[in-house]
Amino acid sequence: MCLLDAIHAFYIRALAALPLPLPAADSTLRRGRLLRALVVSGHCYGPLDPVSNIILNTIWYDAAYPLPPHHGDIDDELPQDISDTRAMARMASRSLHGLVTLLRAVTTGDTLSKHEAVEYLWSRQCDLTDKLQQQQHTVTMTKKKNPYAAAAEASKHPQHTALGSFLLSLSGDGEKLDRLHHLLRSITDGSGRVISDADWEQLNAMIIQERQMITKKIGRKRALPPPSAAPQYLADLSKRRSAYVKRQRFARTNLEDLLVKYCRQHPWEPRYKLDVICGVEEPKSYHWRSYHANFLASANGTVLNGGEANTPVRKFFFAEFWDSQSGRFNKSNSKPICCPVQDYSARFGRLCSFCDEPRTILHPPCATGSHSNDDDDADADVIPDYNVDDAIRMYGSVAPELSEGRDLVESDIIYFDHEKDAANLTQVLNDPSFQRRGQ
């Protein structure tokens, strides 16, 4: 499972670099669209390094397949955070399937076994840029199936043929790849900074232009008008989306409060502002309702001599908090936790005793085991800084059923395109995965 842990960390790093506007009335659409594109299409295979590929595939999908405007009963707000841990776990699993397929497709000579492919990916930390450059002729000139399309199909990408065509158009053009490397340099230069607004605008313009060139080259098939979904199903879809957004707001409110308290208790550190939630897990229990969450926060950008604001570096946090429903649990009996994730290599592989599911939240040492944070040991609040690259060795393992992709996840219904796929709406709404989790 170590390779899947590494891929989970790539998504943390991608979110840390993504220029997400803060949730506000004038930016919710852009922010929600980007997060939706990342969850649906942000696989880590492609002609660049894994983190850059996630962002590249995210921008492409948002431009090529935007979610249609909602009308009437389904005029819902897109989620402003990622709270569905199962969705991110499934993305890591599907990315791994795509990486294995891509590597086997471009390897010449003897057929590479899946085991050998996984070993190679581990030795290269899933970075296939050198391999793809060595096998450039095979990638671009092969008479066989487009290897990128094969990877996208193996990873169950919803538009695998189109994504394959887009990635193939980039892989054979050194000038385009050099340009992409430059615009995404904050990912590979060690700075860990958010992509600047100027680079982000150029990156989007470049990807949109490339997509338009491909569309003109291969043409666009005229699609038949999709069938309309029944009003009662649209109402059910709207209800579930609203409940999901409400739970996200509940989590964000609690995390913002915890982060304010953390800053007051650590006045020597920057004053952090919550940027994006990376996952919220509600451990199952008959006695309490405890939430574990990961999120990224950043300090306000400093102003340089030229008057330009410096792009921020986001810090990764863990938090534990409780709801306030009467009869659930007296949350005053246990202290909430909010701390940056430190060097936790000594606790690699340990599960949280509060979490029933396989670990999908990254826990720091202070929050593994029995959560013995109820005593008055002041040293327990001293948390060193966190290096996001350390997450490669620790991030939570994926449940077997997600690795095999048997179940739908909650984000499937949140980001469901009712105009393009109305025929499957009943199946999605009645899936046992959602019935088990409830409303």
pTM above 0.95, yes or no: no
Residues 247, 237: Cα–Cα separation, whole Å: 16
Least confident of 182-196, 250-264, 302-316: 302-316
What residues make up the domain containing 12? Answer: 2-79+87-227
Last residue of a domain, one of 227, 247, 279: 227
Token pair recorded at residue 116: 């050998």
Last residue of a domain, one of 177, 204, 227: 227
Same domain? For 292 and 201 the reply is no
Q: What is the mean predicted confidence (pLDDT) over 160-172?
A: 92
Whether residue 408 lies inside any domain: the answer is no
Token pair recorded at residue 158: 């919803």
Whether residue 168 lies inside any domain: the answer is yes
Residue 217 is predicted with a pLDDT of: 67
Residues 265, 188: Cα–Cα separation, whole Å: 33
Nearest CA-CA partner of 46 in 186, 213, 170, 137:
170
Residues 246, 252: Cα–Cα separation, whole Å: 10
Whether residue 120 lies inside any domain: the answer is yes
Last residue of a domain, one of 168, 196, 227: 227
Least confident of 100-114, 116-130, 309-323, 365-379: 365-379
Checking if the pLDDT of 346 tops 90, the result is no
Whether residue 26 lies inside any domain: the answer is yes
Query: By the 8 A CB rule, do 225 and 422 touch?
Result: no
Q: What is the mean predicted confidence (pLDDT) over 266-284?
A: 88
Residue 278 is predicted with a pLDDT of: 92
Checking if the pLDDT of 334 tops 50, the result is yes
Residues 42, 428: Cα–Cα separation, whole Å: 22
User: 3-class secondary structure for the chain?
Assistant: CHHHHHHHHHHHHHHHHCCCCCCCCCCHHHHHHHHHHHHHHCCCCCCCCHHHHHHHHHHHHHHHCCCCCCCHHHCCCCCCCCCEHHHHHHHHHHHHHHHHHHHHHHCCCCCCCHHHHHHHHHHCCCCCHHHHHHCHHHHHHCCCCCHHHHHHHHCCCCCHHHHHHHHHHHHCCHHHHHHHHHHCHHHHCCCCECCCHHHHHHHHHHHHHHHHHHHHHHCCCCCCCCCCCCHHHHHHHHHHHHHHHHHHHHHHHHHHHHHHHHHHHCCCCCCEEEEEEEEEECCCCCCCCEEEEEEEEEECCCECCCCCECCCEEEEEEEEEECCCCCCCCHHHCCCEEEECCCCHHHCCCCECCCCCCCCCCCCHHHCECCCCCCCCHHHHCCCCCCHHHHHHCCCCCCHHHHCCCCCCHHHHHCCCCCCCHHHHHHHHCCHHHHHHCC
Highest averaged pLDDT of the listed ranges 38-52, 126-140, 228-242, 290-304: 38-52
Query: By the 8 A CB rule, do 22 and 409 touch?
Result: no
Residue 15 is predicted with a pLDDT of: 93
Whether residue 414 lies inside any domain: the answer is no
Same domain? For 181 and 246 the reply is no
Whether residue 412 lies inside any domain: the answer is no
Average pLDDT, rounded, for the chain: 75
Whether residue 73 lies inside any domain: the answer is yes
Checking if the pLDDT of 262 tops 90, the result is yes
Residue 148 identity (one-letter amino acid): Y
Proportion of the chain above pLDDT 90, given as a percent: 35
Distances, alpha carbon 203 to alpha carbons 183, 270, 313, in Å: 6, 30, 20
Same domain? For 191 and 177 the reply is yes
Residue 280 identity (one-letter amino acid): V
Q: What is the mean predicted confidence (pLDDT) over 241-260?
A: 90
Residues 141, 387: Cα–Cα separation, whole Å: 41
pLDDT band at 414 (very low <50, low <70, confident <90, very high): confident
Checking if the pLDDT of 404 tops 50, the result is no
Whether residue 306 lies inside any domain: the answer is yes
pLDDT band at 407 (very low <50, low <70, confident <90, very high): low
Same domain? For 249 and 374 the reply is yes
Residues 43, 90: Cα–Cα separation, whole Å: 10
Same domain? For 106 and 213 the reply is yes
Same domain? For 324 and 210 the reply is no
Highest averaged pLDDT of the listed ranges 94-108, 306-320, 421-435: 94-108
Same domain? For 263 and 214 the reply is no
Query: How many other C-beta atoms lie within 10 A of the C-beta of residue 52?
Result: 25
Same domain? For 345 and 296 the reply is yes
Edge-first strand listing for the sheet containing 314-322: 272-281, 290-299, 314-322, 337-340
Distances, alpha carbon 321 to alpha carbons 259, 281, 291, in Å: 12, 11, 5
Residue 79 is predicted with a pLDDT of: 83
pLDDT band at 306 (very low <50, low <70, confident <90, very high): very low
Same domain? For 201 and 290 the reply is no
Checking if the pLDDT of 76 tops 80, the result is no
Say how many domains are in the chain.
Answer: 2
Same domain? For 237 and 306 the reply is yes
Same domain? For 300 and 205 the reply is no
Same domain? For 30 and 155 the reply is yes
